[in-house]
Amino acid sequence: MIEKLPSPVVNPDSAPYWNAAREGKLLVRKCRACGEFHFMPRYLCPKCWSHDLDWVEATGKGVVHSFSIVRRAPAAAFGDRVPYVVALIDLEEGPRMMANVVGEGALDTRIGDEVRVVFEDRGDGARIPQFVRGA
Ligand SMILES: [Zn+2]
């Protein structure tokens, strides 16, 4: 039996992020008190602990900080996807996020590659921010 790929688990802190992803937008939080951008979505700034935060749309551009190639599926649903790339992406705005590098040449990913966001459908309208190589 092939399981479905997991969909996002949405909570009140992350709902704006996932709702924007459904519309093909990548949001990050920006602190109004200190100006710091951060990811993953939180209700407090991890730098100054202010709760006065904005959501801002990221450019979707980033650079591969590090990556790994997954060759053994962690669950049956990922069986058709191996091998695939899990990467730490440094966004242009500063935050670092984890995502897959997908698309043509994904397995040739190298540290320092320029990447840009794409959105992968997960059913029921849910979309996951992923990255492809090339600016
Ligand atoms: Zn702050």
In a domain, 109, yes or no: yes
* Spacing, Cα 44 to ligand 1 middle (Å): 8
* Spacing, Cα 49 to ligand 1 middle (Å): 6
In a domain, 9, yes or no: no
Owning domain of residue 113 = 15-133
Amino acid at 18: W
* Spacing, Cα 56 to ligand 1 middle (Å): 14
* Per-chain mean pLDDT for the chain: 95
Q: How far is Cα 67 from Cα 69, in angstroms, rounded to an integer? A: 7
Q: How far is Cα 33 from Cα 85, in angstroms, rounded to an integer? A: 36
* Spacing, Cα 42 to ligand 1 middle (Å): 11
Could you write out the DSSP letters of every residue in 66-118? EEEEE-S-SSGGGTTT-SEEEEEEEETTS-EEEEEE-STTGGG--TT-EEEEE
* Spacing, Cα 40 to ligand 1 middle (Å): 14
Check pLDDT > 70 for residue 2.
no
Domains identified in the chain, total number: 1
Tens-digit pLDDT profile for residues 106-116: 999 999 999 99
Tens-digit pLDDT profile for residues 18-61: 999 999 999 999 999 999 999 999 999 999 999 999 999 999 99
CATH number reported for the structural domain that contains residue 63 in this entry: 2.40.50.840
